Amino acid sequence: MSPPGQTPSNSGPLPRQEVQDMRAYSAPLEGRRKFLRLDFNENTIGPSPLVIKALRNIPTNHFSIYPEYSGLREALIDNLAIKKLSQSLKPSQIGIFNGVDSAINAIFHSYGQPGDLLLSTTPTFGYYEPCAQMQGMEILPIPYERESFDFPWQKINSILLTGKPRILLICNPNNPTGTRLSPEKILTLAKASPTTLIVIDELYEAFSGDSILPIVNFNITPNILVLRSLSKTAGLAGLRIGFAIGNSTIIEQVNRVTGPYDVNSFAVTAAFAALADQDYIDQYVSEVIAAKNWMNGQLQRTKLSFHIDGGNYFLIWPKRAILEMIKLIKSEGILVRSMHNKPLLNGALRVSIGTKEQMQKFWQAYSKHEKSFN
């Protein structure tokens, strides 16, 4: 008989039961640098020249000093104020994280307990579920509705009123369907269940303009927490930095479960420079929106099934077998993401949107190998 806490094969102590039972989130992130990356919704042209300059100017003796975050919260507040917020934010309402993934993890560590309910939608970003599983939470994913992937408003609202979930997580616009939910409806949901933490993942908001920040007051609705990143627009995905914005008490409680130096100095330096060059970000977002409109025009001329809405991505159902199509497009130097076997998306590809020139390259490659075109 094996000693307590060890497996019969004596492979070491067992982790918590929740960790044993969970399904880890994994993504194929290796060997991508030489390709046109239309698979992970990243910025496709790189960061502002101001970011590059700032990183190159870091004194080498600073490498051995622990990171300092003074002024970064204020820099984000100044950047957000461009959008004319309804409430003046304070530094205590900003949390700084090693990417939004880290913020999501910290939220579940702070607020998720065994048996608590996570209410979310499906299909959506795959990292929410393992974070909930890690805490032993129950998970209730509500499917998007109809072929247009409408937000399941009535069902979500009803569960909030009756089931009182611990956390409601909404990706807005949703990855991968692009589904958009108006800020006014989010406020309605928050007021329906004040004891539920309403987490709004706004990583793709810049491409659609649906942010709740211009109308929310975190003193009136303290159960709303907003997530933002500099990965999708500012091109800092490789440096890992993200933000949580909300009520000061909520931010302080989430910060309790993070390390003192989770975000490195290079990411901090890059974030300062990126936030100071909003014109560069706006120009890139405008390029993506123009490319999105062009791509939509091309798709409309075909008989292919596709879906294009919010965010910097779209869904397409190729006539070829999906893995074969991915391989053929890769042979043209382009990466796209399989949505195969995801709820409601069987047989679909998700394609990130870059510049118009990049999308023309994609469309040329896709058209070359699409069976219905030949």
300 shares a domain with 168: no
CB 41 within 8 A of CB 336: no
DSSP, collapsed to helix, strand or coil, labels residue 299 as helix
307 shares a domain with 269: no
Question: What does the pLDDT average to over 218-236?
Answer: 97
Q: What is the sign, positive or negative, of the torsion defined by CA atoms of 155, 158, 163, 168? A: positive
100 shares a domain with 147: yes
The verdict on residue 6 lying in a domain is: no
User: What local confidence, expressed as pLDDT, does residue 168 receive?
Assistant: 98
The encoded tokens of residue 365 equal 């490659």
pLDDT digits (tens, 9 = 90+) for 36-45: 999 999 999 9
Kindly report whether the global pTM for this prediction surpasses the value 0.85: yes
Residues 134 and 112: their CA atoms lie apart, in Å, by 9
284 shares a domain with 199: no
Question: What does the pLDDT average to over 343-352?
Answer: 96
DSSP codes, 232-277: SSSS-TTT--EEEEE-HHHHHHHHTTS-TT-S-HHHHHHHHHHHT-
313 shares a domain with 180: no
pLDDT at 226 over 90: yes
Domain end marker among 277, 298, 315? 277
Residue 309 sits in a domain whose CATH number is 3.90.1150.10
Q: Which of 214, 147, 144 minimizes the C-alpha distance to 186? A: 214
Length of the chain: 374
Q: What is the sign, positive or negative, of the torsion defined by CA atoms of 188, 194, 196, 201? A: positive
CA separation, residue 59 to residues 69, 164, 189, 267 (Å) = 17, 51, 48, 15
DSSP, collapsed to helix, strand or coil, labels residue 335 as strand
The verdict on residue 146 lying in a domain is: yes
Tokens 């779209």 belong to 314
291 shares a domain with 205: no
The band of 163, judged by pLDDT with boundaries at 50, 70 and 90, is confident
DSSP, collapsed to helix, strand or coil, labels residue 275 as helix
Report the number of distinct structural domains present in the chain. 2
279's CB contacts (< 8 A; 6+ apart) are none
266 shares a domain with 351: no
The verdict on residue 253 lying in a domain is: yes
The encoded tokens of residue 322 equal 């999906």
User: What local confidence, expressed as pLDDT, does residue 9 receive?
Assistant: 58
57 shares a domain with 35: no
The verdict on residue 204 lying in a domain is: yes
For residue 305, list its beta bridge partners: 317
pLDDT digits (tens, 9 = 90+) for 81-134: 987 787 899 999 999 999 999 999 999 999 999 999 999 999 999 999 999 999
- Which helix (H) or strand (E) element contains residue 131? helix 128-134
Which domain does 181 fall in, by range? 51-277
124 shares a domain with 29: no
DSSP, collapsed to helix, strand or coil, labels residue 97 as strand
pLDDT at 223 over 70: yes
211 shares a domain with 337: no
User: What local confidence, expressed as pLDDT, does residue 1 receive?
Assistant: 41
> Helical H runs in 137-263?
153-163, 183-192, 248-255
DSSP, collapsed to helix, strand or coil, labels residue 1 as coil
- Centroid of chain to Cα 305: 25
The band of 372, judged by pLDDT with boundaries at 50, 70 and 90, is low
Of the candidate ranges 12-16, 215-219, 343-347, the one whose mean pLDDT is the lowest: 12-16
The encoded tokens of residue 116 equal 């608590």
368 shares a domain with 221: no
Residue 226 sits in a domain whose CATH number is 3.40.640.10
The verdict on residue 3 lying in a domain is: no
Parallel, antiparallel, or unpaired: how do β-strands 349-352 and 337-338 relate?
Answer: antiparallel
Residues 120 and 168: their CA atoms lie apart, in Å, by 6
User: What local confidence, expressed as pLDDT, does residue 336 receive?
Assistant: 97
The verdict on residue 5 lying in a domain is: no
Domain end marker among 277, 298, 318? 277
Residues 138 and 129: their CA atoms lie apart, in Å, by 10
For the chain, what is the total number of helices (H) and then of strands (E)? 12, 13
pLDDT at 28 over 90: no
Domain end marker among 229, 248, 277? 277
User: What local confidence, expressed as pLDDT, does residue 2 receive?
Assistant: 42
User: What local confidence, expressed as pLDDT, does residue 51 receive?
Assistant: 98
